[in-house]
Amino acid sequence: MLRMPSCLLKLTRVVLSHKPWALFILIFVFISFTYHKWYWGIWEDPESRGQPYGLSAEISCAHYVPSSLNVAGGPSPSPGNVFFVETSEQTTPSYLFSCSVESAARTHPGSRVVVLMKGLAKGNASLSKHWALSLLSCFPNVEIQPLDLTELFAGTPLAQWYLQPQRHQEPHFLHVLSDACRIVLMWKFGGIYLDTDFIVLKNLQNLTNALGIQDKDELNGAFLSFRPKHKFMELCMQDFVQNYNGWVWGHQGPKLLTRVFKKWCSLQTIKSMSCKGVSALAPEAVYPIPWQDWKKLFEAVSALELHNLLKNTYAVHIWNKLSHGTKLEIPSQALLAQLYSQFCPATYTKMKQD
């Protein structure tokens, strides 16, 4: 029951000792007070405060995400988060984006899967009503947050680089910005970073201080796993600024990681190895399909072929820059369709409906 504040009690005594028309004022004030308490009581409910982003009415979590995935009573959280980053203003994720986050959430039930999106203004109270963001919010370990780049880069060698306006006019700036975010995230917070065109097959937490070889003489930063404040990531940040060239594709990404690793290990050619606590993983670990062979993702494979292909694989990079324009038949025996079906079934269900 609502309690009338002392100021209203005093007002009541005053009104009752004066003309009857003043009762109208008292009734109006009391109704306003009651409505104010009721309205803000709804929006300040602790449960609603804990969920900063709303769900679209079109997504039924119970339909897409079984309650058995609720991790509240599951294993204790792993020490590192799994990070995804969207550096454009995009807030309408693709099926592949949704599959990437869903597959990571399913394979890391004890970890926070953090999706940072530049398109979400800081402090915004609601997400766009896009189905993918609603679906991903059904997973209790997924957090969708705004990406504040100034705050992220603060206290790092990249802070001044980001504040230079001419950088934003460079032809590959969005990709360079993504390269910058991942190495800063790894240095500041540690954990796992994944591009939004990965499908995760297994838990990645045992791959510590590691990155993957994409071909015979180049590393790729689409997957990174490091402890916070690691010296290797510090050297990557320094190289990013000292050897900066935003006009050459990959110079701040794969080529940067390759440069730093070769210096780190005093190598001329990249090979699968562990050197001074940093591991370069063989291509089959996270890049089982070479970028030159991306079309194989759309070719039919048998269950046995799929098993053999992925036997030593933790995640599959889909090379979205090359493959995004290719139509995928759903359902089909295409490798990519089978990956969707097995590792992101909620997204796959939505794909079939659409």
| Residue showing tokens 């694989």 | 313
- Single pTM value for the model: 0.81
Q: CA-to-CA distance for 298 and 337, rounded, in angstroms?
A: 8
Identify the structural domains of the chain with CATH numbers, from first to last: 78-282 (3.90.550.20)
Task: Write out the two tokens for 329.
Answer: 């038949």
pLDDT, one tens digit for every residue, the chain (354 residues)? 444 445 444 544 544 455 555 444 444 444 444 433 333 332 233 223 233 444 344 577 877 886 555 443 334 445 589 999 999 998 999 999 999 999 999 999 999 999 999 998 665 545 567 899 999 999 999 999 999 999 999 999 999 999 988 888 888 999 999 999 999 999 999 999 999 999 999 999 999 999 999 988 899 999 999 999 999 999 999 999 999 999 999 999 999 999 999 999 999 999 899 999 999 999 999 999 999 999 999 999 999 999 999 999 999 999 999 999 999 998 999 999 999 999 999 999 999 998
Q: CA-to-CA distance for 278 and 266, rounded, in angstroms?
A: 13
Determine contact, residues 186/226, Cβ cutoff 8 Å: yes
One-letter identity of residue 173: F
